[in-house]
Amino acid sequence: MAAAARIVELDPAYARAGSVIDDIVRLEKRIFPKHESLARTFHNELKRQNTGLIYSSTSSTITGDGEGHDSREEEEVSGYAMYTCATSLCASITKLAVKESCRRQGHGEALLRAAVERCQKRRVQRVSLHVDPARTAAVALYRKVGFQVDATVDGYYAPQRDAYRMYMDL
C-alpha cells in the first residue's frame, strides 16, 4: 500500500525548497521529452508573477543503523503541478506530472484538484490546459475532474503532434 501523500504549495523560504525543486526538475526530465520539458528553465518559470507550484510528497521513515544513529523522516516528491493565473479571468495548468511508480494512486487527481482550488481562491473564472490526445490516461483524468475539450490545436507539440485544449469553468 502506498504511503499517504500530502499536497504542499512550494514556499521558497522552506529550508528544503532547493532540494524539492531539484527533485521536481529530475522528474520533469524523466517524464517529458526534451523539447517539452521545462527542466532547463524551471527556476525562471517559478519566478514569473502569478505562477504557483504545488507538489505531492510522501514521507518514509528510515530507521537507524543499530550503531546509535537515529531514524529520520525522508520526503519524496511523487508529483507536481504548475499553474499560472495570467489574468483575473483565466488561469492555466502548465504542468502536471506524477512519478511513474506513484501513478494510479490518486496523486494526479489530488494535484489537479488542488491547483484548480488555488485558482478558485484567486477568483479565476476559467482554467485551461493542453494535453496530447494520445495520453489517454491524462485526458481521462482531466475529464473526470470536470475539464472538457474546447478545441484541437494542430501541431501544438510538433508538426504532426496535436493537442487538445481543455477547460473548466469555475
Domains in the chain: ranges and CATH: 5-63+71-169 (3.40.630.30)
The backbone torsions φ and ψ at residue 149, rounded to the nearest 5 degrees and listed phi first, read: -75, 130
pLDDT, averaged in runs of 10, over the chain (170 residues): 65 75 88 79 80 84 55 75 89 94 91 95 94 95 97 93 96
pTM: 0.83
Sign of CA dihedral 104, 105, 109, 112: negative
Q: Residue 1 has what pLDDT?
A: 35
Extract the C-alpha cell encoding 116. 484548480
